């Protein structure tokens, strides 16, 4: 059974100043999503599912889904604030999405096979999809509690135009994930790469592995997400800024020994469009990859 790719595309893009999921960056109007799907198809993925918002549904169908007919099986689901477990009511002051783990949970009724999870606005590179596909190919039927994460060196994930937040990973000697700690305000200065903690700069090596939200799960994650989201809401439903994140769920599952997470490494080039200023650099990098022959100039021709 071929794995599925779940693309989280319901983000608001507040720092970017627009719908970066649909921004046309390639030479023939390709989005970053297009390149991710192209790489996934080449790596052997058999289906792609999008998690989107209702207010971008029509535009998403026109810009993204329409061009994929005949290329790969496609489906989508909606992530909306009111999609809560029975017994919970949406607070009036809640405007912020519930987070990445909630987004994954929205696809529970559509996935019955191992699947990868990525952000819509991150360019992960062809090798990353091959690495995850290879992991799934070796996954035994009784390994349903074995997940994976494609890790990147923090030095390859920075923006030239502002600070970033990254999940800094700790792993054991067998390259199983021990924890993911969200670090904010990460940037490079004259001394190296650092994040801020309690107002102080903490420097980390360039080769530090960080999570870019490229995960590999089996379908049993959905039951764990449902239980986790219920517990999260009991504590946080009245906090309008609280979010249910994938790393938080994974950390808890590792701590309770309910799962192991293999840290996979890729030599792919990662880049993203966190800030509007990142756009020009992303266009340039895609142009270079086309020139090198990694991608055709017209991706879906």
How would DSSP label each residue in 54-94?
Answer: GGGHHHHHHHTGGGGTTTSEEEEEE--TT---TT----TT-
pTM for this predicted structure: 0.93
**Ordered domains of the chain (ranges, CATH):** 4-291 (3.90.550.10)
Helix ranges restricted to H, the chain: 32-43, 57-63, 100-105, 126-137, 221-236, 246-255, 278-291
Neighbours of 252 (CB within 10 A): 14
Contact 4, 221 (CB under 8 A): no
Token duo for residue 38: 């192209």
Residues 184 and 243: their CA atoms lie apart, in Å, by 15
Tokens of 29: 């109007």
Per-residue pLDDT of the chain (301 residues; tens, 9 = 90+): 899 999 999 875 544 344 677 889 999 999 999 999 999 999 999 999 999 999 889 988 988 999 999 999 999 999 999 999 999 999 999 988 999 999 999 999 999 999 999 999 899 999 999 999 999 999 988 889 999 999 999 998 988 888 888 999 999 999 999 999 989 899 999 999 999 998 899 999 999 999 999 999 999 999 999 999 999 999 999 999 999 999 999 999 999 999 999 999 887 878 888 777 888 999 999 999 999 999 999 999 8
């Amino acid at each position: 059974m071929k794995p599925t790719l779940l693309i989280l595309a319901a983000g608001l893009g507040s720092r970017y100043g627009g719908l970066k999921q649909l921004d046309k960056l390639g030479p023939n109007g390709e989005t970053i999503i297009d390149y991710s799907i192209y790489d996934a198809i080449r790596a052997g993925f058999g289906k792609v599912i999008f998690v989107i918002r209702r207010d971008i549904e029509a535009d998403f169908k026109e810009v993204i889904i329409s061009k994929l007919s005949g290329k790969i099986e496609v489906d989508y689901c909606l992530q909306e604030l009111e999609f809560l477990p029975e017994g919970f009511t949406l607070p009036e002051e809640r405007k912020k999405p519930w987070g990445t783990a909630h987004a994954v949970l929205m696809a529970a009724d559509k996935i019955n096979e191992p699947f990868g999870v990525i952000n819509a606005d991150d360019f992960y590179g062809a090798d990353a999809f091959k690495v995850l596909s290879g992991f799934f190919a070796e996954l035994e039927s009784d390994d349903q509690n074995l997940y994976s994460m494609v890790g990147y060196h923090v030095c390859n994930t920075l923006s030239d135009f502002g600070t970033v937040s990254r999940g800094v990973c700790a792993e054991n000697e067998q390259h199983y994930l021990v924890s993911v700690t969200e670090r904010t305000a990460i940037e490079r200065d004259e001394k190296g790469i650092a994040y801020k903690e309690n107002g102080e700069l903490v420097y980390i090596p360039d080769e530090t592995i960080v999570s870019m939200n490229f995960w590999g799960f089996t379908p049993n994650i959905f039951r764990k997400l449902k239980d986790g989201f219920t517990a999260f809401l009991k504590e946080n439903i009245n906090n309008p800024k609280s979010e249910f994140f994938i790393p938080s769920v994974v950390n808890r599952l590792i701590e309770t020994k309910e799962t192991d997470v293999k840290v996979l490494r890729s030599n792919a080039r990662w880049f993203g469009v966190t800030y509007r200023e990142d756009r020009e650099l992303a266009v340039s990098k895609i142009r270079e990859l086309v020139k090198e022959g990694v991608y055709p100039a017209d991706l879906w021709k």
